[in-house]
Amino acid sequence: TSELGFKNTCYSYKTCLSSPQKTFLIYLERYLMPEQYSVASFVFFLNMSLMPRTLESQITLEKTPSYFVTQEAPRRIFNMSRDTKLIVVVRNPVTRAISDYTQTLSKKPDIPTFEGLSFRNRTLGLVDVSWNAIRIGMYALHLESWLRYFPLAQIHFVSGERLITDPAGEMGRVQDFLGIKRLITDKHFYFNKTKGFPCLKKTESSLLPRCLGKSKGRTHVQIDPEVIDQLREFYRPYNIKFYETVGQDFRWE
């Protein structure tokens, strides 16, 4: 059969559980998906020459967490393939920022406190939007850049919270968005109480269940509740605008 270029799907968001989604989609490819819906490859470069060629019946998945907040990404992806479907995993921006900080702290234990990095002046409630961990969670701001190139119908938003509490439901909606049969269902998951995340059950092709890596499910650092309240107030208008734009209430308030 001749090769016919590629149909591309990329998905993004740093510290918003895109790795679990990637794990579930790889599972879909390797163990469940019939030949007419095979996932060709995962690559990590926004470079046309590095994208694998796939058949008309195939979908190429590309995952890079920083795409959604990278200014030049929408234009470059659009120029590569304007039919690309985009999947964005989002979660409560306050929780996301704490998770981001916790991950960095595990590698750089001498960094300043979360509170110190979050505010230019905490007394006045001035949040430091130059800190990436804070700025990334301003979803409505980043989405504006993407909507200049892609219609909302080509962008699917996954709830990071529901990906934990209802992985089959969230992955069902992803499969609908991709136009493939719902092959990942409740029967493929179990909840790992130790990690606090859903895991994939073992299959005939895999003797062991598939769980996330050690970096997932890490206990977050303890943050002053007043700091959390201040950040919730800061994000509130951005969240509301995001809900209104995408037509979905993620209930982060």
108 is in an annotated binding site: no
Question: pTM of this prediction?
Answer: 0.81
Query: Is 89 a domain residue?
Result: yes
220 is in an annotated binding site: yes
What confidence score (pLDDT) does residue 18 get?
A: 47
216 is in an annotated binding site: yes
Q: In what order do the strands lie in the sheet with 59-63?
A: 39-43, 59-63, 8-12, 85-90, 155-159
Domain that holds residue 131: 8-246
What confidence score (pLDDT) does residue 59 get?
A: 73
156 is in an annotated binding site: no
Fill in the DSSP letter of residue 203. Answer: B
End-to-end CA distance of the chain: 52
Unique residue bearing structure tokens 């393939």: 81
Specify the number of domains making up the chain. Answer: 1
96 is in an annotated binding site: no
Q: How far is CA 168 from CA 147, 185, 233, in A?
A: 28, 5, 32
130 is in an annotated binding site: no
What confidence score (pLDDT) does residue 45 get?
A: 42
Cβ-contact 203, 220 below 8 angstroms: no
What confidence score (pLDDT) does residue 11 get?
A: 55
Query: Is 82 a domain residue?
Result: yes
What confidence score (pLDDT) does residue 28 get?
A: 55
Q: 203 has which bridge partners?
A: 206
Q: What is the CATH number of the domain that holds 147?
A: 3.40.50.300
Query: Is 51 a domain residue?
Result: yes
What confidence score (pLDDT) does residue 27 get?
A: 57
Extract the residue ranges of the chain whose pLDDT is less than 70. 1-52, 54, 202-210, 212-218
Task: Residue 24: name the closest of 211, 177, 208, 178 by CA.
Answer: 211
142 is in an annotated binding site: no
Query: Is 253 a domain residue?
Result: no
